Amino acid sequence: MGATPATDQAAARILGAGEPRARHVAIIMDGNGRWAKKRGLPRAVGHQRGVEAVRRLVRGLEPMKLECLTLYAFSSENWKRSHDEVDDLMNLMRRFIKSDLEEFVANGVKLKIIGDWRSLAPDIVAMLEDALARTANGRQILAVALNYGGKHEIARAAAKAAAKGAITPEAIEAQLDTHDLPPLDLLIRTSGEIRLSNFLLWQAAYAEMLFVDTLWPDFKPEHLQQALDDFARRERRYGGR
């Protein structure tokens, strides 16, 4: 082995020797409704403030050097909510894409969508397709889970793997929506709930987990930085030793 390049040495000093840096973090953005309820406001306001938390986080992402941030925005079970609430969420999505797409492009964000998003309203599908094309050359991946369910994703992947031959873990993994993303390092859920709610079931097999009490609208880039620092101190074993 040759001498360690100076830049690697500098990086090792910042991180501490041997401390792993997370490449891929996913967040279950929960607690918009409770944030609003605490203030006597409609749930829709909580969702609006939730979108602002997303915007703030994406703006603060660059220096964190993450390769990929995955956000759970709408689950395959969220259709059970009232028609009005589902409508509010879809309209927020439309507005967010319109208002923030240019900034994504300018900041090198590469959008990726996971889940059964092609069955959303046709105008949303068209907007997302346009957003995917326009951010295709971005450096940092922002993956958004829309109409996403982990069980559905695994079932779809297994069916595709079966059609191609053997159903092995590797063959299923190659067909998951996340097949082109780095392995999941850290899964965070806000709002104090301690469950996965059908999010990234397969990918979470060896991910580190962090459950925080912060309600999603209160989540700041500093919270993510704290989570990354906490991750760097963890020891991952993958069943060995």
The catalytic residue positions are: 30, 78
Name which of ligand IPE, Mg ion, none residue 214 binds, using a CB cut-off of 5 to 8 Å depending on partner kind: none
| Interacting residue with ligand IPE among 60, 78, 202, 221 (CB under 6 A) | 78
Q: How many residues bind ligand IPE (CB under 6 A)?
A: 19
The residue with tokens 């997370």 is 22
Tell whether residue 193 is a contact of ligand IPE (CB under 6 A).
Answer: yes
Rounded to an integer, what is the distance from CA 178 to the centroid of its chain? 11
Strands laid side by side in the 109-114 sheet? 109-114, 140-148, 68-75, 24-28, 186-189, 208-211
As a whole number of angstroms, the distance between CA 195 and CA 217 comes to 19
As a whole number of angstroms, the distance between CA 156 and CA 152 comes to 6
Tell whether residue 53 is a contact of ligand IPE (CB under 6 A).
Answer: no
Give phi and psi for 164, each to the nearest 5: -95, -15
| Interacting residue with Mg ion among 26, 27, 28, 30 (CB under 5 A) | 30
102 assigned binding-site residue: no
Tell whether residue 89 is a contact of ligand IPE (CB under 6 A).
Answer: yes
Residues annotated within the binding site are 30-35, 43, 47, 75-77, 79, 81, 189, 195-197, 208
Residues annotated within the binding site for Mg(2+) are 30, 208
